Each structure stands twice: as structure tokens, then as C-alpha cells.
């Protein structure tokens, strides 16, 4: 099979028939063998009924349905697990992404040898409240991930070599950073294609403003995981040691100053009279806690399924 189109959807009943007809037209015009995999993310409208009607008329249409709304990332993950095509293409269900981009995306994966090609909605048809923070968000993501050539990390329209989607795990809200996940998994050839974008025709966006806060938090998590995911002691141990050493020497200094002041008039016998003593003590305790966090992190990392998961480039 040439192409699997994976479409996560949550309450998109109006768009689905148009979307399927459009994809079918493109596939038939180009002679691709394909499947359309709808992943219904717990829709409460008629989406599932509509998909059943579509599937009855087109045997290339398949569906998985969640019992409740889990989110776009879990939906993509399930779609990726089922996809059988040589090239896997994801797109949103709301007709904002154009299926006309499929042939060129397919060509870039199969002929140009990209592992992943992300769409770039260069001209966007979204409200300003979304496009401006998105620019900032993408600039940060470029910097943190080191994938310098991507302008639009979270574009729903993306194409992958099948191997890539089988190798990465999208969870939580990590669909925003799939290129980063792919890079961390060892896939280096990540490209971009300017794609057509349309305003939402039916329904409304399923993400609120919290997307930006969560987006930044997730980026921090991914950065942390890529640096210290399997060796947490390297960061917590360092922080812990630094704090402890600073605290320890600060206590010494407090004690020495006490001894020196023995001769002066303002002599007070108890070190506990000094506020610096407590600050130093706090630093030592925090240092120890960082250290213990590092040990617990190591225990968890020891059992992580990722700890020995390497992508082999070549072997002789």
C-alpha cells in the first residue's frame, strides 16, 4: 500500500464527507493504493455515523473510535500503530489542510528520501490571537529542538516514512512536537513543504488558549527528556552537589565568623542567632533532596522502555 492517511477527529461531522471525497479524488487521479484511517476521538456528534456511511461506499476507509475524548496525540498514536502504507500522511479533519498536497508530500518521502516532511501554513487563515503566539512558539521550538529549518511544528498536515511513525510514541499533547520526537528517535532528514491552508469551514477549533502554556511546558519536558531522560542523575546530582557544597561552606563561614566575633562586644554564643546559618542549612537540605531525586530518577530510567532503544543507521 502506498499511502495511509491518518485523520484524528473530534466532532467534525460536517467536514467528513467532503474530506473523504477530496482525498479519494486525489488518490484516484494519481493511481495511489491507499487507506483512510479515521480516528474518532470520542466525538459526541454524528461523526461516527457519517464515517460508517462513508466506509460503506469506500472500502479503503477504516476507523478506530475512542470511547471518550482522549486528545489529538492519543488519536494519532493509535492511527500510527494501525497504518500500513509505505508513506503515512496525517491531516486534520476540518478541511483546513488540503489533500491536493498529498502527491508532492509522497514524492518528497519516496524520492527525496525525507524521513518526515512537515507542512508549513505560510499564509494562514486563523485568527490573530492564534497566529502571533504561534510565531513565538515556533521560534522557541526551533531553538530548543535544534531543528532549524521548520517554521510550523504543529501543522496537522505531515508525511512520514512508515518506519518513523512505528518508532515514535505520541502521547499527552506531544503532537505539537512530532518532528522533535522523530529527531530524538534518530531521524535526521526532516523537511518542510509550504502548504495551502483554509479557514475552518464548519464547527470551531477544539483547542483553547491553554494550548500555548501547555505547549511551552511540553517543550521543556521534551528538552529535559532528550538531555537527561536516561541519565537524570547527571542534572540532579550536579544541582544537588552544588547546593550542598555551597551550603556546607556557608555554614563553615558562619561558624568562623562566630569564632572571630568571640573577641568583640556583640558576641553571642549561639550560631542559631544568625539568619545565614538557616539559609546555609536550607541549601544543604535542598542539595540532598536534589540528590535523592536523581537516585529516584535513575531507578525509573532503569525501567524505561526507551533506555536501550537505538536507531541503527548501518550495520556490517
Residue 137 C-beta: closest distance to ligand UDP, Å: 12
Rounded-to-integer distance, Cα 79 and Cα 71, Å: 13
Helix, strand and coil percent figures for the chain, each rounded to 5:
50, 10, 35
CA angle 181–187–192, rounded 5-degree value: 85
Could you say which residues in the range 84-123 bind Mg ion, by CB under 5 A? 92, 94, 96
- Cβ of residue 95: shortest distance to Mg ion, in angstroms? 9
Asked whether position 156 contacts ligand UDP by CB under 6 A, the answer is yes
12 near Mg ion, judged by CB under 5 A: no
Does 96 bind ligand UDP (CB under 6 A)? Our answer is yes
| Smallest gap from residue 140 Cβ to ligand UDP (A) | 17
Interface with Mg ion (CB under 5 A), residue total 3
In sequence order, the 6+-apart residues with CB closer than 8 A to the CB of 288 are 240, 244
User: What are the residue ranges of helices labelled H in the chain?
Assistant: 16-30, 47-57, 72-82, 102-110, 128-145, 162-167, 178-185, 210-228, 233-261, 275-302
CA distance 17 to 19: 5
Kindly indicate which of the ranges 25-33, 93-101, 103-111, 215-223 contains the residues binding ligand UDP, using the contact rule CB under 6 A.
93-101
CB of 258 within 8 A of CB of 274? yes
Residue 215 binds to ligand UDP (criterion: CB under 6 A): no
Q: What minimum distance in Å lies between the beta carbon of 7 and Mg ion?
A: 12
Task: Name the one range near ligand UDP by CB under 6 A: 87-95, 186-194, 214-222, 241-249.
Answer: 87-95
Distance CA 184, CA 145 (A): 9
Of 21-29, 189-197, 199-207, 278-286, which part binds ligand UDP (CB under 6 A)? 199-207
The answer to the question of residue 295 lying near ligand UDP (CB under 6 A) is no
User: In angstroms, what is the minimal distance from the CB of 255 to ligand UDP?
Assistant: 59
Q: Strand pairing partners for 7?
A: 38
Phi, psi of 88, rounded to the nearest 5 degrees? -110, 125
Encoded one letter per residue, x for contact with ligand UDP by CB under 6 A and - for no contact, window 38-77 reads ---x---------------------------x-xx--x--
Asked if 107 is part of the footprint of ligand UDP (rule: CB under 6 A), the reply reads: no
- Sketch the per residue contact string, 227 through 266, with ligand UDP: x for CB under 6 A, - otherwise: ----------------------------------------
Edge-to-edge strands of the sheet including 158-161? 61-65, 34-40, 3-9, 87-90, 158-161, 116-120, 190-194
> In 3-state terms, what secondary structure has residue 143?
helix
Query: Rounded to whole angstroms, how far apart are CA atoms 200 and 207?
Result: 13
- Residue 71 binding result from ligand UDP, Mg ion, none, given CB thresholds of 5 to 8 Å by partner type: ligand UDP
Give the interface with ligand UDP as residue ranges (CB under 6 A): 8-10, 12, 41, 69, 71-72, 75, 92-94, 96, 156, 205-207
Give the interface with Mg ion as residue ranges (CB under 5 A): 92, 94, 96
Amino acid at each position: 500500500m502506498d499511502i495511509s492517511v491518518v485523520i484524528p477527529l473530534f466532532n467534525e461531522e460536517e467536514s467528513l464527507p467532503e474530506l473523504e471525497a477530496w482525498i479519494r479524488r486525489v488518490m484516484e487521479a494519481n493511481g495511489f493504493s491507499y487507506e483512510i484511517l479515521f480516528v474518532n476521538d470520542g466525538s459526541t456528534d454524528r461523526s461516527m455515523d457519517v464515517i460508517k456511511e462513508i466506509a460503506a461506499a469506500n472500502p479503503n476507509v477504516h476507523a478506530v473510535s475512542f470511547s471518550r475524548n482522549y486528545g489529538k496525540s492519543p488519536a494519532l498514536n493509535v492511527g500510527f500503530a494501525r497504518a500500513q502504507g509505505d508513506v503515512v500522511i496525517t491531516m486534520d479533519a476540518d478541511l483546513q489542510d488540503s489533500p491536493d498536497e498529498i502527491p508532492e508530500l509522497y514524492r518528497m518521502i519516496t524520492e527525496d528520501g525525507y524521513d518526515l516532511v512537515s507542512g508549513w501554513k505560510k499564509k494562514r487563515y486563523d485568527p490573530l490571537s492564534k497566529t502571533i503566539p504561534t510565531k513565538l512558539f515556533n521560534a522557541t521550538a526551533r531553538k530548543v529542538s535544534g531543528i532549524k529549518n521548520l517554521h510550523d511544528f504543529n501543522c496537522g498536515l505531515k508525511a512520514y516514512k512508515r518506519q518513523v511513525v512505528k518508532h515514535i510514541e505520541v502521547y499527552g499533547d506531544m503532537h505539537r512536537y512530532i518532528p522533535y520526537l522523530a529527531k530524538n528517535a534518530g531521524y535526521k532528514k526532516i523537511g518542510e513543504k509550504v502548504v495551502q491552508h483554509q479557514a475552518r469551514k464548519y464547527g470551531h477549533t477544539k483547542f483553547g488558549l491553554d494550548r500555548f502554556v501547555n505547549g511551552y511546558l511540553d517543550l521543556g519536558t521534551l528538552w529535559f527528556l532528550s538531555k537527561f531522560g536516561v541519565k537524570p542523575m547527571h542534572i540532579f546530582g550536579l544541582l544537588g552537589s552544588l547546593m550542598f557544597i555551597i551550603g556546607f561552606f556557608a555554614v563553615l563561614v558562619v561558624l568562623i565568623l562566630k569564632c572571630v566575633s568571640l573577641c568583640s562586644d556583640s558576641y553571642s554564643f549561639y550560631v542559631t542567632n544568625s539568619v545565614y546559618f538557616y539559609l546555609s542549612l536550607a541549601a544543604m537540605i535542598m542539595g540532598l533532596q536534589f540528590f535523592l531525586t536523581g537516585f529516584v530518577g535513575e531507578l525509573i530510567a532503569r525501567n524505561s522502555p526507551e533506555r536501550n532503544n537505538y536507531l541503527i543507521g548501518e550495520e556490517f
